[in-house]
Structure 1
């Protein structure tokens, strides 16, 4: 999970250096001037992005971030700019927040540099999405080894910035193996620019299908390399990686809860007009209607798919709540055993280990265990979150409209009511409801469990935690002297009534969290809702099989039904997962760079259980 940060030598303010690599981060003639000449000029920018809906830049070596800032500034200054600029960069040794601020203390682009510093993520492995300009400029920052991350990216680049320390000092960032990984993201017309004229690099690019040439260099370098992808034979793009609705300008989203609202916002930022359809009379009336809910990441020793997905999702939620200016209770305590705390180290800005004493001080109670403290986690009103996302999306709401079936109509889909009458049609439909939409999922519904949950409200609570707290149950202060606690779990139970036995179970957990002697007495009060849970406790996000297409042996090879995306199975983590899920839905539908590594995209693919069943040996 942890990333080794860069050590930067600032002794020469004109050229910060890396002691580890024995090289400077940029020319002494100026970082922005170098970026504009080599990387923008060498890739024909800004001219090549003009009139485009989306333009994708892929960079090796984020460094101090000056190439990104120069590109963002050029986009800002260009009245004919593309609608969306996506800048994807990988960095093995990112700067610590203080060093990044120091590197840009005298930046000629102070406003942009400060925004970058303000949004700088915790130094955890994987992809981080940083949004600017109301989402029209996106930095997809991959922290980790480029040799691993480049093979995990799912994108098509329009321009490539080949940067990094000198090939003699950092050969792994320039060799043929890495260049092959870069070429996988190129399409005919993709350009490359770099300040280096390293001959092995140029030969490798030529062998990979690039037309390679030289151009006037910057400052003391007489020449630089430029290239254009023009292969003789085009590799076939995996069927499962094709956009599900590349040309969609309108979308119908079924479900006005967390999933649906997040999908509407992400699609709207891509220029898609959304209509959100729900059977109930207002948004966030089902599972998303609970009065309070937690969001936070998770940890495990091997940093497996669950930990990585939940970390990415929690950080995306943190950014989304900040952008929406939504009130929240910041910081979350997650109680753990001593063994779990000792086995892993924290990461500043993401998660910190606390002793039982330190956790107790934050919670305002004597806690029996140490805790992980998630400073970017916390609690929020999920209904308020839904409303804020829907308002920001500009989506049209069609409430009290139950969708009974879908019908394929030409290139699009039509929603039908119970009588078979059409409700609305669009090229793109997103199934983002909860358990009520199970009939629309077909065989996929067999992989999901409906789980009842009851939470309890204490109007006069003997203990209101200083931070939202989770462990064996959870507790959240309501801000008025009371607390919410819970929650029960009963599979397949559709009873909507509050039950005294469930309240006692919730209050017993609350008492253990607070260290109380005895269970508090309180009138029956709370709420019942239902979770939709998959067998591996991850959501279902992605496309469904194309009609009559046999199941492929790999998810990325599976042809998908055009114009149909599933986004469901949020279990009890709707607040944590919604923002990232919405981004992934938009990327899958429209062909934008995926906000997750390829193996995590597969980990939430709706067809994963079907594929696993097919792989089981028959007896």
Structure 2
């Protein structure tokens, strides 16, 4: 998906009863009241609250977030309804979101719900942002950017549509034929839609895409409004690769008690599942997630490709989760030294990303933050930093309420009807589940190889050694990265590293690796560093060739697509099995988002990343790439096979 810088809204608050957009020349809501409009036009127009009552979950898609009043009013009504759905998913798109100061002004009198929204308001970066309320039972998926592009990238089925853009005459792009076609693609069976507009193109657009349209009494001086019900004569089936991997799951097993496993347990628990986490080791975070400290931060590149966008979404998801968990950092903020570009090029490459996410700093500014002299410019990620992975894992597992089964090695997996059995080395069934998440990193490579040997062969196990030096050679104001990294752990000194050796399974600390880490530390600090390490630790990363994780289902070999096999979404999946692995060296940065994506793929809930990013991390991408190569070079491929 092509991205563009987000331009915040310019709001005219001169008339408190009807705030207006200066860009579109229209008011955000009727003078009769924002919440009253939300209740009569959008909620009642979609049969709410009655339609969500007694349901497991209910999903609303709104085409214009505006000031956020429709979301807040819907959330409030959901809270007040004793027969409400177990969970409420609210997806809203906005080209020009509010600055935090304007959001605070708009909701100065809204009360605690408005304050909670403001507290979670994300940096204004393009793409999807997941905000979680009421212990995960209410989810706001806020899409920032052009609605037409975002609608194409949403992976969800909506039960109700709030069509609430500025008037068609002021903002025709939000009411065109493409939009209504997108609504039909995203509509669940029996979905409804409502809007205050009765313009002929609006009603015709709905009717032409499978909605039965009617009029109802209007609100705030308008004589009529539009209501619609999705009732198409024919609907194309959902792509098999987009279907939920399990049906009506009430419980699940996560195999692996490290960063990925803990994040999956939390994400599934927030969706109402009872979760059991199984691990072979005697303690959680006992393998690669057991390092004393590690970095988390986003990245950027000039073309804002999939790696930069996934890293940005993941970093922001991590920041949000750490805030919810109340988890302190070892160090807050991160500086990544720029080794190739000058400051002017860095500023161009930042593409208008907000300072709350990343800043290009000249060497003097970076030095002031670092607390030591730096010779080059640096990227400052104020929301990044350093964290103790084991503490993070414990916090996620605690919040999930998951049952822990440690000291439980799993030697094999066996599919048994609609369930998966976990077997001991003796063939004893240790557990059985309708939903199994493989989240154990390199230790589970053999289990994966038994199910999908081709995928397992694509993976690399990489050894890494970190080092601690004490006393600290300096005091750092932020974590520091570039050629290696340095984390100031206070009295414990510095943690630095890390080495990378593919296919190396040696568990012993090596003096040569300590020397490499200390040499990098000296270059990073621009000053001599200690020549000996106080201690170190060895761990292993699981990597893919394209350096993106594996999140999603595995291809079902019994149902190979007859056509369009070069696209991952057309591959059917093995039911009840989800991968969340190959987080490489970015476990802290990626875990929160990876767990949320894994849960969404398992249960069919709204996906927190765009469809093209979902394809980029899908485990079936290697099969699809092979199919594309075969289609492009059929003779050469067969000759080499």
Q: TM-score range by the shorter chain?
A: over 0.9
Tell me whether 1:509 sits opposite 2:552 in the alignment: no
Tell me whether 1:587 sits opposite 2:606 in the alignment: no
- Rounded to whole Å, the distance in 2 between the matches of 1:302 and 1:296 is 19
Residue equivalent to 1:463 = 474
Q: Give 1:187 deviation, angstroms.
A: 2.2
Residue equivalent to 1:433 = 440
Q: Give 1:524 deviation, angstroms.
A: 5.0
The one of 414, 420, 432 equivalent to 2:421 is: 414
Alignment CA distance shift 1:216-1:488 (3 Å) = same
- Rounded to whole Å, the distance in 1 between the matches of 2:152 and 2:492 is 52
Q: Helix, strand or coil: the match of 1:158?
A: strand
**Structure 1 consecutive aligned stretches of length 4 or more whose deviation exceeds 6 Å:** none
Q: Helix, strand or coil: the match of 2:615?
A: helix
- Rounded to whole Å, the distance in 2 between the matches of 1:477 and 1:437 is 33
Q: Give 1:44 deviation, angstroms.
A: 0.7
Where do 1:51-62 residues align within 5 Å?
51-62=54-65
Tell me whether 1:480 sits opposite 2:495 in the alignment: no
- Rounded to whole Å, the distance in 2 between the matches of 1:209 and 1:503 is 65
Given that 2:279 and 2:407 are in contact with CA atoms closer than 8 Å, whether structure 1 keeps it comes out as yes
Tell me whether 1:68 sits opposite 2:71 in the alignment: yes
Given that 1:256 and 1:277 are in contact with CA atoms closer than 8 Å, whether structure 2 keeps it comes out as yes
Superposed CA offset, 1:367-419 (max 9, x none): 12111111111111000100111111111111111111111111111001111
TM-score by length of 2: 0.95
- Rounded to whole Å, the distance in 1 between the matches of 2:332 and 2:32 is 44
Residue equivalent to 2:233 = 232
- Rounded to whole Å, the distance in 1 between the matches of 2:109 and 2:252 is 45
Residue equivalent to 2:388 = 381
Q: Give 1:523 deviation, angstroms.
A: 4.0
Runs of 5+ consecutive residues of structure 1 not aligned to the other structure: none
Q: How many residues align?
A: 616
- Rounded to whole Å, the distance in 2 between the matches of 1:296 and 1:226 is 45
- Could you tell which deviates more after superposition, 229-238 or 304-313? 229-238
- Rounded to whole Å, the distance in 2 between the matches of 1:332 and 1:130 is 23
Residue equivalent to 2:311 = 310
Q: Give 1:209 deviation, angstroms.
A: 1.0
Q: Helix, strand or coil: the match of 1:562?
A: coil
Q: Give 1:362 deviation, angstroms.
A: 1.0
Q: Helix, strand or coil: the match of 2:554?
A: strand
- Rounded to whole Å, the distance in 1 between the matches of 2:160 and 2:628 is 39
Q: Give 1:613 deviation, angstroms.
A: 2.1
Q: Helix, strand or coil: the match of 2:426?
A: coil
The one of 29, 35, 39 equivalent to 1:32 is: 35
The one of 587, 593, 597 equivalent to 2:610 is: 597
- Rounded to whole Å, the distance in 1 between the matches of 2:164 and 2:85 is 24
Q: Helix, strand or coil: the match of 2:220?
A: coil
Given that 2:467 and 2:533 are in contact with CA atoms closer than 8 Å, whether structure 1 keeps it comes out as no
- Could you tell which deviates more after superposition, 325-334 or 297-306? 325-334
Residue equivalent to 2:346 = 341
TM-score by length of 1: 0.98
Q: Give 1:247 deviation, angstroms.
A: 1.3
Given that 1:544 and 1:607 are in contact with CA atoms closer than 8 Å, whether structure 2 keeps it comes out as yes
Q: Give 1:184 deviation, angstroms.
A: 0.7
Residue equivalent to 2:20 = 17
Superposed CA offset, 1:67-97 (max 9, x none): 0000000011111111110100000111111
The one of 481, 503, 512 equivalent to 1:492 is: 503
Q: Give 1:316 deviation, angstroms.
A: 0.4
Where do 1:94-493 residues align within 5 Å?
94-107=97-110, 110-328=111-329, 329-336=331-338, 337-339=340-342, 340-345=345-350, 346-442=353-449, 443=453, 444-480=455-491, 482-493=493-504
- Rounded to whole Å, the distance in 1 between the matches of 2:106 and 2:358 is 26
Q: Give 1:137 deviation, angstroms.
A: 0.6
- Rounded to whole Å, the distance in 2 between the matches of 1:147 and 1:338 is 34
Given that 1:211 and 1:229 are in contact with CA atoms closer than 8 Å, whether structure 2 keeps it comes out as yes
Superposed CA offset, 1:234-265 (max 9, x none): 22110001100121111111110000000000
- Rounded to whole Å, the distance in 2 between the matches of 1:82 and 1:171 is 34
Residue equivalent to 1:537 = 547
- Rounded to whole Å, the distance in 1 between the matches of 2:239 and 2:219 is 39
Alignment RMSD: 1.1
Given that 1:338 and 1:369 are in contact with CA atoms closer than 8 Å, whether structure 2 keeps it comes out as no
Residue equivalent to 2:639 = none
Q: Give 1:421 deviation, angstroms.
A: 1.1
Q: Helix, strand or coil: the match of 1:81?
A: coil
Given that 1:464 and 1:476 are in contact with CA atoms closer than 8 Å, whether structure 2 keeps it comes out as no
Superposed CA offset, 1:152-185 (max 9, x none): 0000000000011111111111111111011111
- Rounded to whole Å, the distance in 2 between the matches of 1:186 and 1:607 is 26
Q: Give 1:481 deviation, angstroms.
A: 5.1
- Rounded to whole Å, the distance in 1 between the matches of 2:184 and 2:554 is 29
- Rounded to whole Å, the distance in 1 between the matches of 2:177 and 2:151 is 13
Q: Helix, strand or coil: the match of 1:548?
A: helix
Q: Give 1:289 deviation, angstroms.
A: 0.2
- Rounded to whole Å, the distance in 2 between the matches of 1:354 and 1:146 is 33
Residue equivalent to 2:535 = 525
